[in-house]
Amino acid sequence: MRRNFLIPMACAFFSFASAALCVAEEKILNLGDPAPTLAVSSFVKGDKVEKFEPGKTYVVEFWATWCGPCKQSIPHLTELAHKYKDQDVQMIGVDVWEHDVKLVEPFLKEMGDKMDYTVALDTVPEGKGEMEGLMATTWMKAAEEHGIPTAFVIRDGKIAWIGHPMAMDEPLAKIMSGDWGIESMAKERLAKKEVEKKMRTIRLALAKLQQAKDYPGLVKAIDEATAADETLVKELEPLKIAALCKGADIEKGLELGDRLKTVNWNNAPLLNRDAWNLIDPNSTPKELDPRVAKLALEMATRAAEISEDPQLQDTLAEAKFRTGDFDGAVACEEKVIKYLQEHIKEDTPAAKQFLKRYSDRLEKFREAAAKKTAA
């Protein structure tokens, strides 16, 4: 999911190197802390849970009807619910950030036995927006979790783990066996959150250089921001490679990009991310070096090969378009639109605008293919 962040304006006056330090010192909800109250408005499926009982384990997972990754993870949560049914593990899916709660009941009917665990709705106080529900605020916001699906494992009333439900198998197994080092994991999570805070501040400062297409300046700013911090170097490396390939130093960008491609060869999301950064649909074809377009195509092709996510075909379509394969671009984009038409159920302005974005891209590809055929 995409994330939006607000950074204190004072940070704008610091240099890139010091900008990372302009972070509010706030205690975040973390592993080992007492679990917040289950402030749901109602239980719409399964057993009602009043409170967290001692000696019992709970999984509180946050989702929404509009969230594609949530829908993909729900069957897996059901598998875990069945697996641990006799070990006092209670699964609770909490619907948050919902655009229209009337969509929840039809969604549950559609999922049927694939969503075989307790489901509840967040409590949104009168006058508040969908993002300001009590569960969204006291759990997700308090823990600095900005995307769904996100799961919290609760053991003896305390938080034992927080993360993506598809990555929960091993932690949950160790928690149940008593082989879970919560103190070390809590420190590790805090360190990760600190990096995320620094990244939000740095990215805000870099945005103006991106918008101005000052790629040499962007590379220089990245080097300054990441000086002596290997963690930040890795976080900003994809952005740096894109800036190099867009004109700062194409030869160096290709060298680093090829290395990143090799490192991420079996990681579809990262390959897709890097390919998208390189092709940049907001730039014109003339601004993209053919060698860079070829590298992006290799990344996007590999990502689509090893992933079952049809939406990755969108990046592949753009990469094919940038390398002159207009018919291939049309075929890929048609797959994306077919998938979206089958899975976007709500008839809302936001959903229509989302689909139109892909339809416009398809039309661009078709026009290019037609011109090439006529030439």
- Per-residue pLDDT tens listing for the chain (375 residues): 333 322 222 222 223 333 333 334 468 999 999 999 999 999 999 999 999 999 899 999 999 998 888 988 999 999 999 999 999 999 999 999 998 999 999 999 999 999 999 999 999 999 999 999 999 999 999 999 999 999 999 999 999 999 999 999 999 999 999 989 889 899 989 988 888 887 787 888 788 888 888 989 999 999 988 887 787 888 889 999 999 998 889 999 999 999 999 999 999 999 999 999 999 877 776 778 999 999 999 999 999 999 888 889 999 999 999 999 999 999 999 999 998 888 776 666 767 888 898 999 999 999 999 999 998
CA distances (Å), origin 367, targets 70, 314, 321: 35, 17, 11
* Angle, CA of 359, 246 and 316, to the nearest 5°: 35
Q: Could you count the other beta carbons within 10 Å of the beta carbon of residue 370?
A: 12
Bridging pattern class, strands 158-163 and 57-63:
unpaired
Structure tokens at 360: 């416009």
Go through the domains of the chain in sequence order and give each one's CATH number: 31-180 (3.40.30.10)
What strand order describes the sheet that includes 118-122?
A: 40-45, 118-122, 89-95, 57-63, 150-155, 158-163
Pairing of strands 89-95, 118-122: parallel
Q: pTM, whole model, 2 decimals?
A: 0.63
User: Residue 50 and residue 203: Cα distance in Å, rounded?
Assistant: 42
